[in-house]
Amino acid sequence: MTKDFLGKVALVTGAASGIGEAIAVQLADRGAKVIAADLNGDAAEKVAGAIKAKGAEAAALAVDVAKAEQVEMAVRFAVDTFGRLDLGVNNAGIGGAAAPLSDYTLDDWHKVIDVNLNAVFYCMKYEIAAMLKSGGGAIVNMASILGSVAFPNAPAYVTAKHGVVGMTKSAAVDYAKKGIRVTAVGPGFIDTPLLAALPAETMDYVKSLHPIGRMGTSEEVAALTLFLLSDAASNITGSYHLVDGGYVAL
Ligand code: NAI
């Protein structure tokens, strides 16, 4: 395994499960020191423990990304623990309630917007401040195919993910000359616990929407994310990259 992230320090939110876990593991396998941050601190500890058991460096942190002061603390923890911050993967997210817009409760709306949109602002705000001190860095925001197309009964999720794509462009433009690249990833439906609530017939329907004939895996999303974080992507910033088995092309 190439250790092309050796010496880099990465903060991964939502690292206790699914896509975030795969990204944390792949980053550590390729030499990065990883902070696995998640609302579920125990599960984040398990991910960090598994990474350390393979001889890499990691630390876990319980954090609610919807709370700005906790995100600020998480970035400080990364710098205090490993001395700097080079990479940010703003991946924590929730599916939220399913209902058409007019039936969406205010509570459900705010919950999804807080975790899937406001939190990305908090993460980038504090990550960028830390990266400016260590001479630059790279950030990947986890959007979705629903950052560019809609899906029935998901007004808050679709809005939040479109917002993440816009926020990615905004930050990329502001920091391009300061050595910080910012990109967004748009996965199709990926087989993770996020989809656990979907009934079996919905899962079959969802699979049929992907020309490739299946849902994607967390490892496939992690592979794209690591490419965008790596020096191989040195001329890539402000862009949104699909990993969707052809979903949006259909
Ligand atoms: P998951 O449910 O397996 O993992 C999400 C993680 O985020 C969990 O460990 C959860 O504890 C954590 N989390 C939730 N709220 C949090 C909060 N307030 N603070 C800190 N951590 C919190 O889900 P999955 O599928 O790995 O999702 C990761 C990201 O990928 C999300 O942003 C999601 O919207 C996005 N995504 C997922 C797709 C899918 O089909 N699974 C498709 C497209 C995008």
Identify any residues that bridge with 240 across adjacent strands, giving them in sequence order.
Answer: 184
- Give the whole-angstrom CA distance, residue 157 versus residue 109: 9
From 122, 157, 175, 240, the catalytic residue? 157
State whether the beta carbon of 115 lies less than 6 angstroms from ligand 1: yes
Ligand 1 pocket member 168 (CB < 6 A): no
104 is catalytic: no
Strands (E), 49-156: 58-62, 87-90, 137-142
Distance 7 CA to ligand 1 centre (A): 27
Domains of the chain plus CATH, in order, are 9-240 (3.40.50.720)
Question: What pLDDT score does 206 carry?
Answer: 93
As averages over each run of 10 residues, the pLDDT of the chain (250 residues) reads: 96 98 98 98 98 98 98 98 98 97 98 99 99 97 98 97 99 98 98 89 93 97 98 98 98
Closest ligand 1 atom to residue 15 Cα is 9
Q: Are 74 and 35 in contact (CB under 8 A)?
A: yes
DSSP for 36-66, written as a single string: EEES-HHHHHHHHHHHHHTT--EEEEE--TT
Is there an atom of ligand 1 within 6 Å of 94 CB? yes
Alpha-carbon torsion 194, 162, 148, 201, what sign?
positive
CA nearest ligand 1 atom 43, residue: 144
State residue 241's pLDDT score: 99
Q: Does the predicted TM-score (pTM) go above 0.95?
A: yes
User: What atom in ligand 1 is closest to the CA of residue 116?
Assistant: 32
User: What is the whole-number distance in angstroms between the Cα of residue 96 and the centre of ligand 1?
Assistant: 11
